[in-house]
C-alpha cells in the first residue's frame, strides 16, 4: 500500500521534466490511475513506452491547458476512465523571458495563459467534482520567481498569481475537504532551466546554501507528500524548494 493507493490524479505538463517525474513518483507511491495532460503528443507516446507495463495506469491526453474547451474535454475523459479526480497537479508552465521594457505583448499573454489561466481552467472543471465527493488535493507548481526576478515579469506575475489562487482556493475548499497547496522551486535541472544563461546560473549558485541546482525528483517527492493524506492538515501553503536560497 503506497500513500496514494486508491487515488486518481490529473497531472498537467507530465510529458517531461518535473511533470514526468511527478507522474513516476505517483506511480511508485501507489496511485491507482493518472491522466497526463500534455501539449506535445510525441512526449506522451514516449512516456507510455518508457513506463512499460505500469503505463496501463496512465491515461495520456493531448491537451493545451490554455485552451478551455480542450481542458473541459480532457477532464471529462479522465472522469470517464477513472470515475473521479482526487488529485490535481497544475504543473504545465512556460517561460518567455525578457526585460519588461522590451517584452512583447504576446510573450506576456502566452505565459499568463499557460501558467495562470491553465490552472484556472483545470480548477474550473475539477473543483466541482472534488466538492461533490468532499475530497480533493490540489498542488500548484509556482516558482521562487514569484517573489521577483529580473527578466521574468510575465512569469513572476503568473507564478505569484498562482500563490494567491492557491491560498484562496484553500480557504474556499477547506469545508469540503479540498486541500490546496503550492510548491515554489528554485532552479531545477530540466529543459526549462536550459534556457537560462550560464552567467545567471553561476551567479545564482553562489546564493544557494546547498551549492547545487535541484533535481526534478526533489520537487516530485514534496508534491507527492502534499497530494497524500500525510499532509491532511496542511493547506494554503507555499513550500519553497530551493536548496535553502532565499529570494
Ligand atoms: P519543462 O519545460 O521541462 O516541462 C514543462 C512541460 O509542460 C512540457 O512537457 C511542456 O510541453 C508542457 N507544457 C507547456 N505548455 C503546455 C500547455 N499549454 N499545455 C500542456 N502542457 C504544456 O519544464 P519544467 O519541468 O522545468 O517545469 C515544470 C513546472 O515547474 C513549470 O510550471 C515551471 O514553471 C515550474 N518551475 C520550474 C523550475 C525549473 O527550474 N525548472 C523552477 C521553478 C518552477 P512542451 O515541451 O510541448 O512545451
State the burial class of residue 57 (Cβ atoms within 10 Å of its Cβ: 0-12, 13-18, 19+): middle
Q: Cβ atoms within 10 A of the Cβ of 1, count?
A: 7
Q: Which residue out of 40, 46, 93 has the highest number of ligand 1 atoms within 8 Å of its CB and is therefore the one to mutate?
A: 93
Residue whose Cα lies nearest atom 2 of ligand 1: it is 192
pLDDT confidence of residue 26 = 98
Residue whose Cα lies nearest atom 23 of ligand 1: it is 192
What domains can be seen in the chain, in order of their start residue?
Answer: 8-241 (3.40.50.720)
pLDDT confidence bin for 195, thresholds 50/70/90: confident
CA 171/CA 178 separation, integer angstroms = 9
Which among 196, 213, 106 is positioned nearest to 149, based on CA atoms?
Answer: 196
pLDDT confidence of residue 230 = 98
Task: Give the three cell numbers for residue 110.
Answer: 502566452
User: What is the DSSP code (8-state) at residue 213?
Assistant: -
Task: Give the three cell numbers for residue 80.
Answer: 470517464
Minimum-distance ligand 1 atom for the alpha carbon of 113: 18
pTM exceeds cut of 0.95: yes
Percent of the chain with pLDDT strictly greater than 90: 93
- Return all residues near 52 (Cβ < 8 A) that are at least 6 apart: none
CA 158/CA 117 separation, integer angstroms = 9
pLDDT confidence of residue 197 = 84
pLDDT in tens, 74-126: 999 999 999 999 999 999 999 999 999 999 999 999 999 999 999 999 999 99
pLDDT confidence of residue 120 = 99
Counting every residue, how long is the chain?
Answer: 247
Q: Which residues pair with 182 in a beta bridge?
A: 140, 238
pLDDT confidence bin for 196, thresholds 50/70/90: confident
pLDDT confidence bin for 201, thresholds 50/70/90: confident
pLDDT in tens, 13-51: 999 999 999 999 999 999 999 999 999 999 999 999 999
Q: Which residue out of 92, 194, 208 has the highest number of ligand 1 atoms within 8 Å of its CB and is therefore the one to mutate?
A: 92
User: Is there a catalytic annotation at residue 135?
Assistant: no
Amino acid at each position: 500500500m503506497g500513500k496514494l493507493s486508491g487515488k486518481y490524479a490529473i497531472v498537467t505538463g507530465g510529458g517531461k521534466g518535473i511533470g514526468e517525474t511527478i507522474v513516476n513518483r505517483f506511480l511508485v507511491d501507489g496511485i491507482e490511475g493518472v491522466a497526463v495532460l500534455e501539449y506535445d503528443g510525441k512526449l506522451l507516446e514516449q512516456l507510455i513506452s518508457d513506463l512499460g507495463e505500469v503505463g496501463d495506469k496512465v491515461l495520456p491526453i493531448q491537451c493545451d491547458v490554455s485552451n478551455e474547451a480542450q481542458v473541459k474535454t480532457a477532464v471529462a475523459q479522465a472522469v470517464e476512465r477513472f470515475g473521479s479526480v482526487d488529485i490535481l497537479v497544475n504543473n504545465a508552465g512556460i517561460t518567455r523571458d525578457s526585460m519588461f521594457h522590451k517584452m512583447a505583448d504576446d510573450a506576456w499573454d502566452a505565459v499568463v495563459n499557460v501558467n495562470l489561466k491553465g490552472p484556472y481552467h483545470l480548477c474550473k472543471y475539477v473543483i466541482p467534482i472534488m466538492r461533490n465527493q468532499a475530497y480533493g488535493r490540489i498542488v500548484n507548481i509556482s516558482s521562487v520567481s514569484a517573489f521577483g526576478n529580473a527578466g521574468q515579469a510575465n512569469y513572476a506575475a503568473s507564478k505569484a498569481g498562482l500563490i494567491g489562487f492557491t491560498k484562496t482556493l484553500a480557504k474556499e475548499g477547506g469545508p469540503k475537504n479540498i486541500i490546496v497547496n503550492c510548491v515554489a522551486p528554485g532552479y531545477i535541472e530540466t529543459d526549462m532551466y536550459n534556457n537560462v544563461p550560464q552567467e545567471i546560473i553561476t551567479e545564482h549558485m553562489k546564493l544557494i546554501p546547498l551549492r547545487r541546482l535541484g533535481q526534478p525528483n526533489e520537487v516530485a517527492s514534496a508534491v507527492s507528500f502534499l497530494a497524500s493524506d500525510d499532509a491532511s492538515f496542511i493547506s494554503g501553503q507555499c513550500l519553497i524548494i530551493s536548496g535553502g536560497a532565499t529570494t
